[in-house]
Structure 1
């Protein structure tokens, strides 16, 4: 088992250092912008991976070589082949795989689901093997380079010492939704009919806003504005050539440390208000809402079932049920589910059992995914998928890619929506979908 080389560096803001890596291959920034000891403590920055695992409509490729194994089996193999010791006291991602798994990859995990093969917005999965990473501990205000060897660390330190690259425009205008307000409200009403008919208990329905990317637009410049407008615990910026992603997600799909697993589904949302008394009233309305609590509890039950497939009997626990968390633009109800993986099960098995996250599909999951595809009539791409890392030291952390903008094929896309239950009111759900993306849209303005 290998032990990485480490060296401490001056701790700058990770997004500022990303400016110095602009133009390097496959830049990945995983950033805790809304910082706290437990959820928002660490950030990571990497580029120039040694290899890339990619899943497209044509197949699964490792460094452009077609693979016969499934992507999750390849992930498990790469982790086993590159296992390294965990350096205690340093940030948890110390080298390994980082990137995204798109929502649309989920149909590959449920081959019996009746989900169309929509024209893809991006590859279904892109995970880069980084053998050198800059890691930041915001509570200690310290940073390190962690690498497989000294030469790799020297190279990254040199890049991080370079002059920051110039930024372009962050402005995009002319957004159009794939639904009119009336069409979206009709879609919500149709979903409620499915629920009342007994097809499902809940489904997550979204609308997509898109606009042409103008000349001079700079996705990293946009991310720098977004992180200030909507600071989040699981933010990310990725520049993978054909696609760029800027995310300010508050939601964790799962974290794994050794055999210990944690999931943190979000269900239940109210907007923030600048007036303290109105804000307190919105919190009270959220925490007392039977509809929102029922929505949250249904997803907790779904995730307990998902985790039980790969966890030791009796180990699945719910230490927090419908807890309140407050962010820049919204209040959320968040639950926490924990478990211990069965012996012989690894991160590939865990992703296979839990992806996509139940909070952005609905319950039961397979039928909800079918209804989502039928009503939205479009792929989601990275949105509602997962962004994060799978470390070779046994540490994994993946978000759910909500509050996320995607840039590919000359088009910018932003999506927002919510969980629909039998108590949902179409007009209120339409307004909630706009609340979810308000800060993102503000970040695109001049």
Structure 2
């Protein structure tokens, strides 16, 4: 029977590139790589392997994050919540395509501070001796760092699950529903799927994304015959238990990047000035304010920044920051239960938006769910799983599915929204098939 971690030991080490460490350890069962691009949106990277506890399965719809209240997952835990589990109160039960919640606990972990250019090895255990041994194990991983060789494209085919015309029709229908007063906004997605070549694996897709396309919340995680590869730029939630500060950074509004500097600047300026994109962003800011207010001290929820343009390798995004001060009894389970699924990938009002999404989409699985890390004292960092592919190993071949969506509002143009999904999908498509 697994024991609760009651001891923590840390060891400092000189800087080593976390991508090289992840590459050296490889992508086997239990491998974890939460890799930041080192920019202002993502200071920390984390690498680990060999979890000692794992749980995969369905959840209670009334308390989907109840497992996080188990002391076993109080620190050193990683979780993946599928979008469909959070949407179920609005949509009812549908066929399950991915486990509702996947959890694993890591006794040993490496954390890389991109700002200070330092590394911390953390060991946790039921005894001081176990924690020390775990920290020493993590330090050994640094010596396995390997030159990162970018693999060739591991898939041949990248096939849409429905024609583009079906997506345009869905957008037009949502615009009609908005005009009828049914809702204000809904994020509607397109899906692509396929298989990797025999002998190829999802870790290669992850390594390809790390080259020139790295993001603040890049991730690789494998549990058994399932793996996740994410290139997300979006923070869902961050929680600092010492200050009680909660932070959410919803993304709404996108423009492509351009190779020409002047054209690229013009696209960023266009996004910043776009009344449509600002309105879309503001709706989600208001939604997140409402969600955070459920678990925050009265009067503490604030909009720290509004309509900031962030530049990523393939897109410009419009980002806002909402903060709050958590009530005394609030921890990761309460935070996630109050806010999941993320407002930026559902819509407003959230409950009705999820119903509309279900009318036009099959189950999303991990896409637009959340991948989260629980640190000491209940610290939480959770990303929104956009720019993400889920993989399942079947008959020795890894099959994948990935999606891209756009926020649909009253004046959305179906062709423009389709084009936006193509831009958002470009990095993942290139990582999979090379074009």
TM-score computed with the length of structure 2 as normaliser? 0.90
Please state how far the C-alpha of 1:317 moved relative to its aligned partner.
0.2
Write the distance in 1 (CA, Å) between the matches of 2:164 and 2:52.
46
Distance 1:303 1:141, change over 3 A: same
1:234 lines up with 2:228 in the alignment: no
Distance 1:162 1:330, change over 3 A: closer
Residue in structure 2 matched with residue 54 of structure 1 by the alignment: 56
Please state how far the C-alpha of 1:70 moved relative to its aligned partner.
4.4
Equivalent in 374, 390, 399 of residue 374 of structure 2: 390
Equivalent in 290, 303, 307 of residue 322 of structure 1: 307
Please state how far the C-alpha of 1:162 moved relative to its aligned partner.
4.2
Residue in structure 1 matched with residue 274 of structure 2 by the alignment: 289
Please state how far the C-alpha of 1:384 moved relative to its aligned partner.
0.4
Q: Does structure 2 retain, via aligned residues, the 8 Å contact 1:300–1:335?
A: yes
Written as runs of structure 1 = structure 2, the 5 A alignment for 1:229-268 is: 229-258=212-241, 259-268=244-253
Please state how far the C-alpha of 1:403 moved relative to its aligned partner.
0.7
In structure 2, list runs of 5 or more residues that go unmatched.
125-130
Residue in structure 2 matched with residue 146 of structure 1 by the alignment: 122
Please state how far the C-alpha of 1:315 moved relative to its aligned partner.
0.5
Residue in structure 2 matched with residue 128 of structure 1 by the alignment: 104
Q: Does structure 2 retain, via aligned residues, the 8 Å contact 1:168–1:216?
A: no
State the Cα deviation string for residues 386-411 of structure 1 (Å, max 9, x = none).
Answer: 11201232311000011112211442
Q: Comparing 69-78 with 228-237, which one deviates more in the overlay?
A: 69-78
Equivalent in 417, 422, 431 of residue 419 of structure 2: 431
Equivalent in 319, 328, 341 of residue 356 of structure 1: 341
Please state how far the C-alpha of 1:171 moved relative to its aligned partner.
2.1
Write the distance in 2 (CA, Å) between the matches of 1:117 and 1:69.
16
Residue in structure 1 matched with residue 128 of structure 2 by the alignment: none
Residue in structure 2 matched with residue 114 of structure 1 by the alignment: 91
Write the distance in 1 (CA, Å) between the matches of 2:273 and 2:145.
52
1:413 lines up with 2:401 in the alignment: yes
Residue in structure 2 matched with residue 73 of structure 1 by the alignment: 66
1:225 lines up with 2:205 in the alignment: no
Match of 1:45, SS state, is: strand
Match of 2:65, SS state, is: helix
| CA RMSD of superposed structures (Å) | 2.2
1:174 lines up with 2:157 in the alignment: yes
1:6 lines up with 2:10 in the alignment: yes
State the Cα deviation string for residues 62-93 of structure 1 (Å, max 9, x = none).
Answer: xxxxxx99452221232xx676xxxxxxxxxx
Write the distance in 2 (CA, Å) between the matches of 1:414 and 1:345.
33
Q: Does structure 2 retain, via aligned residues, the 8 Å contact 1:168–1:217?
A: no
In structure 1, list runs of 5 or more residues that go unmatched.
61-67, 84-94
Match of 1:444, SS state, is: helix
Residue in structure 1 matched with residue 316 of structure 2 by the alignment: 331
1:197 lines up with 2:154 in the alignment: no
Count of aligned pairs: 417
Write the distance in 2 (CA, Å) between the matches of 1:213 and 1:235.
20
Write the distance in 1 (CA, Å) between the matches of 2:352 and 2:77.
31
Distance 1:106 1:416, change over 3 A: same
Distance 1:436 1:82, change over 3 A: closer
Residue in structure 1 matched with residue 189 of structure 2 by the alignment: 206
State the Cα deviation string for residues 253-297 of structure 1 (Å, max 9, x = none).
Answer: 000001210000000000011112211221222111111011000
Distance 1:282 1:425, change over 3 A: same
Match of 2:41, SS state, is: coil
Write the distance in 2 (CA, Å) between the matches of 1:54 and 1:98.
12
State the Cα deviation string for residues 149-174 of structure 1 (Å, max 9, x = none).
Answer: 11112333334434859997542122
TM-score computed with the length of structure 1 as normaliser? 0.88
Match of 2:32, SS state, is: strand
Residue in structure 2 matched with residue 341 of structure 1 by the alignment: 326
Q: Does structure 1 retain, via aligned residues, the 8 Å contact 2:122–2:138?
A: no
Q: Does structure 2 retain, via aligned residues, the 8 Å contact 1:30–1:388?
A: no
Match of 1:261, SS state, is: strand
Residue in structure 1 matched with residue 36 of structure 2 by the alignment: 32
Please state how far the C-alpha of 1:24 moved relative to its aligned partner.
5.1
Distance 1:180 1:159, change over 3 A: same
State the Cα deviation string for residues 344-371 of structure 1 (Å, max 9, x = none).
Answer: 2222111001000000000111110111
Displacement over 4 Å in runs of 4+ = 68-71, 162-169
Write the distance in 2 (CA, Å) between the matches of 1:168 and 1:115.
42
Write the distance in 2 (CA, Å) between the matches of 1:114 and 1:445.
34
State the Cα deviation string for residues 29-77 of structure 1 (Å, max 9, x = none).
Answer: 11112x23x4221100111112123223xx57xxxxxxx9945222123
Q: Does structure 1 retain, via aligned residues, the 8 Å contact 2:158–2:433?
A: no
